[in-house]
Structure 1
């Protein structure tokens, strides 16, 4: 699978105080950073390389991002956000299944390799770890819980479910395979994962 192209959506990570960012410069920097992530990987990506590709000075990048890790985290989130967004329909179950398929495409191939590398590096980089959590993991969990809550409110799912546990049950297996990379994230695996969870929470007519 080819990596996802940069997009113009996504939320900026926390930056250091300074001059207000030019939106066009921000987008150029994020696009350049993501392109380097895809072509070289996180370890080989450099602020110098991003600055050259985006046609900005290194000082501009450091004014708005604390370090390479924080920039890489935002660039990745910015690029993949549209592919993993929830699309609302009349069925919360269908919405979860559709989003999990989109997420599986992100986790496969090169894009998943990049994320796994960044997660590994973030264990020793508190700023990058916070950027990944606040900008990627936390919003994704909140969005999934909102869909599950809607399913409960509409009577599609059983009431009083533990949303945190359900999110772990649905997405934990995908993250495990993305990180360990011993077994592929196939469509069949995705369907088996959500079916195993839904079988226990879908309300059935008596």
Structure 2
């Protein structure tokens, strides 16, 4: 019994090797030049192993991004809404930059042409983070930091829209000073009674 291989441990180590390879290759080559073959070779696994778990490179990267976003881009609640938004938005900016090698920017671009990936991106990565954002904003409303009738869909667009606008048109991600200005203006508009 002691000599029986632990399949779960082997599977998890292969999974982590695949994620590490995909992350490294994206950083080196960019998402567009990423292939399942290159991931398999770098991870030391077969293409068959990857395809057993994921249908495409987009699916591999999406799961990798989901784990990264859970660790890096959560919505803190320190009681200081502006600081918490700065922390969260800075994490998102870090995931989008530089766009040439950002796995997230690559998946977003591919999802424009792949309806199944777009669906999975929304369901797995985007919608849960929107729910977290709205929960954090509702807490701010309860604490009197935002108007109780602030439209949280508009809040989402005011705070995150500029990041994706700047990404789409190659304008560069906001620097810390601009991000602070963006947050201050958005919070000012959301604090006013309608």
TM-score bracket, shorter-length normalisation: 0.7 to 0.9
Secondary structure of the equivalent of 1:22? helix
Structure 2, unaligned runs of 5 or more: 1-6
Q: For this pair of structures, how many residues does the alignment match?
A: 186
Q: Which residue in the other structure is 1:69 paired with?
A: 58
Moved more, 171-180 or 89-98: 89-98
Q: TM-score, with normalisation over the residues of structure 2?
A: 0.83
Contact 2:99 2:167 in 1 (8 A): no
Q: CA deviation at 1:107?
A: 2.6
Q: Which residue in the other structure is 2:46 paired with?
A: 57
Q: Which residue in the other structure is 1:173 paired with?
A: 162
CA distance in 1, matches of 2:104, 2:24: 14
Map of 1:69-108 to 2, 5 A cutoff? 69-108=58-97
Distance change >3 Å, CA 41–CA 90, structure 1 → 2: same
Secondary structure of the equivalent of 1:191? helix
2:186 counterpart of 1:197 = yes
Moved more, 137-146 or 182-191: 182-191
2:32 counterpart of 1:47 = no
2:138 counterpart of 1:149 = yes
Q: TM-score, with normalisation over the residues of structure 1?
A: 0.79
Q: CA deviation at 1:110?
A: 4.8
Contact 1:116 1:179 in 2 (8 A): no
Distance change >3 Å, CA 109–CA 130, structure 1 → 2: same
Q: Which residue in the other structure is 2:4 paired with?
A: none
Q: Which residue in the other structure is 1:161 paired with?
A: 150
Distance change >3 Å, CA 138–CA 111, structure 1 → 2: farther
Q: CA deviation at 1:97?
A: 2.5
CA distance in 1, matches of 2:124, 2:164: 17
Which structure shows the bigger proportion of residues in helix conformation? 2
The CA RMSD measured in Å over matched residues stands at 2.4
The structure having more radius of gyration, on CA atoms, is: 2
CA distance in 1, matches of 2:180, 2:81: 15
CA distance in 1, matches of 2:31, 2:173: 22
